[in-house]
Structure 1
Amino acid sequence: MRRAPTTGAALVLCAATAGLLSAQGHPTPPESPRFASWDEMNVLAHGLLQLGHGLREHVERTRGHLGALEQRLSACGTACQNPGASAAPPRVPESSVAGGEAAPEALRSLQTQLKAQNSRIEQLFQKVAQQQRHLEKQHLRIQNLQSQVGLLAPTHLSNGMAKPAPKKRLPKMAQLVGPAHNASRLHNGGWTVIQRRQDGSVDFDRPWEAYKAGFGDPQGEFWLGLEKVHRITGDRGSRLAVQLQDWDGNAESLQFPVHLGGEDTAYSLQLTAPVASKLGATMVTPGGLSLPFSTRDKDHDLRRDKNCAKSLSGGWWFGTCSHSNLNGQYFRSIPRQRQQRKKGIFWKTWRGRYYPLQATTMLIQPTMAAAAS
């Protein structure tokens, strides 16, 4: 039988949570970051969650016992007012009935205190759960950094000196007649269309499961689904084609190499360092940039202080909320308010951060298929 948590355990929970929240509010200076291991933080967070559950269950059991005691006191009062009753009144501890009318009042006071205590424990439990989410986000960042280290090109030693790996060429950017025309041409070359925006007929501000499974109409606006795209690419490298069109009829297209991870990496999109820099990303490691996919209910972006998908709109591979978002809110005309425009469909390095695009198409092709074609 599980023992109810003691007052000492509750104090330990409060102290541990206060320490975590204090550390969150006052992060370590960036010049000398120090992090606890994921295993240590995960064990601590899960332990706090279990202790919070135990405290709440203990309060609920205590409340139930007090309720039963109050019912017994009420039954005793009824029996005492009716001396001719055949049944003996329920046995109640003397300490509980001492004081007559004061006993129910004391019980009500205790119940009020227990409700307040339960409310405080519930708030504490929510804070611990929030801290657990932050820990999971930090763990995902660590995984992404580890994957970037794994993508570092090996150096070749010659005469005891390390030679840097040759730089990769940037993908060429070609002007198009129109996204729809080029999409058909690429599709015939082994490409798969994974996203299309053209008229705002489909709502793209959806939760994680929708972006994982896919939604929309393949003949119109749609999102193929992260899991389907991952099955197409597997563990192979791929090429991603992005086609953009503004409201003046101008169109632009670019292609670049990518690698799409599985759900265990939040479908992280890995970009080489030159491509990431070309797309406007800053602080890119030599191994490139890994961007997890984020939705309003699954915050995996690289911003600590903001949920990009919730602040903007739609699900996307957000870095710092400002480089691109082709799944943003569709505007049939350009809004006057700058705060509203930033929620739209944008590609910063082409038309700028606050220009909502008219149409977009995304296609993907595994690298092996690209070599065969």
Structure 2
Amino acid sequence: MKMKLADLLCVTVLVSSGASFPYERKSAAGKEKKVQFAAWDDVNVLAHGLLQLGQGLKEHVDKTKGQARDTSVKMKVLNSTVAELGQLTQRLLEDSEALKMKTQSLEEREGQILNASSELREKVEAQLRDRQSVHEKITRLEEKFDSITQDKSTGPPTGNYSDPRIIQWMLEAQNHRIDELVEQIKQQQEKLDKQNLHIRTLQSQIQMRNDLPSLKQQEDEGHQNTSSEWHDSPTSMASNCHDLFLAGETSSGLYTIKPFDSEPFEVLCEMTSDGGWTVIQRRQDGSVDFDQLWKVYQTGFGSLSAGEFWLGLEKIHHMTKDRDYILQIQMTDWRDEHQTIKYLVRLSGEASNYSLHILSPSGYLESALTSQTSGLPFSTRDKDNDLKNDFNCANHLSGGWWFSNCGHSNLNGRYFVTPPKQRHHRKQGVFWKTWHGRYYPLKTTVMMITPADTDPKS
């Protein structure tokens, strides 16, 4: 074990003091002897001690240097911390000054708000006073009007009828009463028209019920080999699926109808607990190409029994030309969420390009299919009738539809299971813009119609 530095120094000093000076010895007789020097071993001990002293000093110096370096590093860190504290203190002073200014601003605004509130309160009180004054004036005018009316009914006028304000008041009251009576007359007339139409429908139903047994027997004899899914009904009377429902048919399926001034044709009927609906369009799997020409859309195409189809513009027109119909559109997205939209419509003939007239106001969702005053004409890629100048919407989007300016709806577009990457291709799909946007391809669509006066929810 090494000696401590202080002990080593003491030993060295003592050895040095004892070994470096000669000494004299006196004899008993007092005679001087020769001077004696330290032995060689003592010198070695002294040298060894000096070496140990040097080694200890060197270690102490190295340790001191390390401590000095650590102290220097700590001083630098402390200086940095002091500088950061100084900056933070400066920022705190600046923030405190800004907060003080904001507080002053808030106090000023609070004073302005209090002043504005006081002014507003005064204005409200003034308006209340004005309202009370107007109310009192109206009360006086009513009393004056009542007195004038009584004077006119009981005998010669005793009041002053030259005041133009009184005369104007009386004229306005009379005009308002006349307008109310006219509106009531219109409502009564509409109710009478509906009742007359309902009476004609009931008469037709009674006649159909009387003729149904014999007609069904004749039809059954001529169609014994027909599939059980095919339901034939009397073609001489039924003009739509709701007539069949009123005649006693309650099963959905294929039937034959004969609208007025039309040849008999087959339709798909959707029977509900409230009535019958004639299906005019169905999309479900992309099995039918709807990018067809004008003549094909006129006559119709596809499979009524199981697949996709378009009934035909001419057939739809023959059913709807004599009275208003409810058009119901049912849509499904790829999350199997459903949406149903209804319109009150009438469809014109070929002379007006089968223009669709929407007779009821529509909301945001229904606005994807809008009509002009003169109706919205039908368009195909070989017969451009849309409202967009120098542009064929049917050719650009695919399929035939009542296009306005191309971007609102198209239930007869291309059927996409997976939307294409190209944007101009996605625009060609089956879409309803106000539901999921024009680039979302719908999964299924069904369009069906029923007479407006027989739809219980119309």
Q: TM-score, with normalisation over the residues of structure 2? A: 0.40
Q: Which has the higher helix share?
A: 2
| Higher gyration radius (CA) | 2
The structure, 1 or 2, with the larger RCO (C-alpha pairs under 8 Å, 6+ apart) is 1
Q: TM-score, with normalisation over the residues of structure 1? A: 0.48
